[in-house]
Amino acid sequence: MAGDPVNVAPHVYKTVLENDRVRVLEAGGSPGLITGMHSHPNQVAIALADTKMKFTFPNGESAEAELKAGEVMYLEPVEHTVELLGSEEGRLILVELK
């Protein structure tokens, strides 16, 4: 597995709280920010602001996703890089499940 997002991209991911059930990250920043390859377990993403992203996977394929402020998405375990797109600062809460 690729690295921990908090270590790989501390300019994008910060730990908000952690216990034996979850780790909660805040993620975001300005359009154009990009992370190195990293992995997440199952997680719930909650958008605090409109956030548009491009994911690139280890096989080279990519996908875009957009969450409006207040929208929620469930993600299976994933390994990817993330680039922030759009014209505004993106901001997400990620509830990683242990």
Tell the smallest beta-carbon distance from residue 73 to its own copies (Å): 8
- Residue from 41, 3, 8, 10 nearest 26 by CA: 10
Which lies closer to its own copies via its Cβ, residue 63 or residue 97? 97
Q: Are strands 78-84 and 38-40 parallel, antiparallel or unpaired?
A: antiparallel
The yes or no reply on residue 68 touching its own copies (CB under 8 A) is no
Cα 13 to Cα 4: distance, rounded to the nearest angstrom: 10
**One symbol per residue from 36 to 65: x for binding its own copies (CB under 8 A), - otherwise; what is it?**
------x-x-x-x-----------------
Contact region with its own copies (CB under 8 A), list: 2-10, 31-39, 57-65, 70-78: 70-78
- Residue from 73, 70, 85 nearest 28 by CA: 85
Size of the site for its own copies (CB under 8 A): 19
